[in-house]
Structure 1
Amino acid sequence: MDPSAYLKAVVEQTSTLADWVHGRDAATPVPTCPKWTLADLVDHVGGTQRMVTMLVSEQMTEPSRAFAGYVPGPADSGQWRDWLSDGAAEARQAFAAVTDDTPVWDPSGGAAGVPFWSRRLLGEACVHRADAAAALGLPYELAPELAVAALDDWLDTMTSRGYWENKPGFADVMRGSGQTLHFHATDAPGEWVARREPDMVVLERTHTEADVVVRGSAVELLLVISRRRPLDAAPTLELQGDRALLDHWIEHMDWVTEG
């Protein structure tokens, strides 16, 4: 997907989320993010989009003012729909005015810039819409190609050098001696192999044998790996190999209130 396709999807996903939360009780708990209410979720989605819009539109190349662009959402949930929709539209406009090689700071440690943020906003919108669905008791559906893109964002960001450097506790528990996990979407092109090395997790987009393999629909893979759905509640996923290795991976992919 190119940045314009990512941002088109961000607008669409955010619009659905905005319709869901409009006028709802701000104190509604979000079970997939146990410390959050619905107001926290709305703040996070809309505030993050506005922060990224500032980074991209001002072409910021260092992070000193990054969080200055974070704006909390309205207290009145009757204003949430417009606030969320406006934030997504502003983000789309900001990305339309730059190119992939426009210098923009990002936290990955790989100087990925504009492509990092376009994919990051899509991952945010898809995963946090699942949080809203859980909070409000609504069904969650996502096109397979979008689920693949969101899962790619999750895995790539969590295994990035920048994330490891900023989360030393996470890095310590995820170190390994070559253990491999293979995630395979069966309804859209998407395969990832994560190899736990002593100094990093190496992520490759390939097909190979692994210590544990998980196959199934892209949306089920996304929900399980992002800890939005327990593995035992996703019976359509096929699991082969070391279940304990997968459980360890999921247990420590704790980005629930940071993603």
Structure 2
Amino acid sequence: MDPSAYATAVVAQTSTFADWVHGKDPSTRVPTCPEWTLADLVDHVGSTQRMIAMLVGEKMTEPSAAFARYVPGPTDSEQWRAWLTEGAAEAQRAFDSVDADTPVWDPSGAADGVAFWSRRLFGEASVHRADAAAALDERYDLAPEHAVEAVEDWLDTMTSRGYWENKPEFAAAMRGNGQTLHFHATDATGEWLARREPDMVALERTHATADVTVRGPATDLLLVLSRRQPLAAASSLEIDGDRALLDRWIDHMDWVTGD
């Protein structure tokens, strides 16, 4: 998807999220992010959207000003729907105001700017809506092609040069000598090969034989890879090969709380 299409999808997902959380008990625990309450989740989603809207809309090439202008969420959950809806609309206006190649700071190390943030915001919306569904016992649905986009965001972000360099504990855990993991969506077009190298995790979009392969519906891949659903509970996923290698991968996909 292009940045405008991602932004439109973010608005749609945020609308559903906002309907779910509106008026709910702020102290409700979020089981997929055990350190968070529902208020923490709402604050994170809305504040992140506003921060990204600032970065993109103001074409910031240095992020400190956006971080300094953090906008906390309302304490009254009856205000959550309007606040979340406006945050998503701000983000959409920001992306509509720039070209895809507009220089904007991003943490990936690849200088992808607007393209990075539009996809990242979509991935955020997809994963955190799953958090809200878990907290409020709502049914989580995501179109397979959108789930593929969210898996792409998760894997690309987690294997980026910027993440490797800024998360030394992740780098230490993921260093390898060529071990490979293949993730294959079966209900939409999406395949990824991750290779653990000494200085990076290389990610390719390809079909290949690997040390371990996981295949199944894209939404289930997303929920398992983002640690929103235990692997043992994902009966639709087929696993071939080195299960310990897969377990290690998932164990270190620890970008779960405070992401």
Q: Same fold (TM over 0.5)?
A: yes
Rounded to whole Å, the distance in 1 between the matches of 2:18 and 2:146 is 18
- Matched residue, 2:219: 219
Q: Does 1:195 align with 2:195?
A: yes
Offset of 1:137 from its aligned partner? 1.1
Equivalences, count: 259
- Matched residue, 2:245: 245
Deviations 1:164-186 (A, max 9, x none): 11110111001111000000001
Deviations 1:23-57 (A, max 9, x none): 00000000000100000000000000000000011
Deviations 1:85-143 (A, max 9, x none): 00001100110010111010000011010000000000000000000000011111100
- Which residues in structure 2 correspond to 1:173-212 (within 5 Å)? 173-212=173-212
Letter in 2 for 1:210: A
1:253 is paired with a residue of what secondary structure?
coil
- Which residues in structure 2 correspond to 1:89-100 (within 5 Å)? 89-100=89-100
Letter in 2 for 1:207: H
1:209 is paired with a residue of what secondary structure?
coil
1:213 is paired with a residue of what secondary structure?
strand
Does the CA-based 8 Å contact 1:51-1:68 persist in structure 2? no
Runs ≥4 residues deviating over 6 A: none
Letter in 2 for 1:133: A
Rounded to whole Å, the distance in 2 between the matches of 1:258 and 1:197 is 27
- Matched residue, 1:170: 170
Q: Which runs of 5 or more structure 2 residues have no equivalent in the other structure?
A: none
Query: Once superposed, what is the RMSD of the aligned Cα atoms?
Result: 0.7
- Matched residue, 1:21: 21
- Matched residue, 1:6: 6
Offset of 1:68 from its aligned partner? 2.1
Q: Which runs of 5 or more structure 1 residues have no equivalent in the other structure?
A: none
1:215 is paired with a residue of what secondary structure?
strand
Does the CA-based 8 Å contact 1:50-1:69 persist in structure 2? no
- Matched residue, 2:153: 153
Rounded to whole Å, the distance in 2 between the matches of 1:172 and 1:150 is 25
Rounded to whole Å, the distance in 1 between the matches of 2:75 and 2:64 is 28
1:254 is paired with a residue of what secondary structure?
coil
Letter in 2 for 1:31: P
TM-score normalized by structure 1? 0.99
Rounded to whole Å, the distance in 2 between the matches of 1:255 and 1:16 is 23
2:213 is paired with a residue of what secondary structure?
strand
Offset of 1:258 from its aligned partner? 3.3
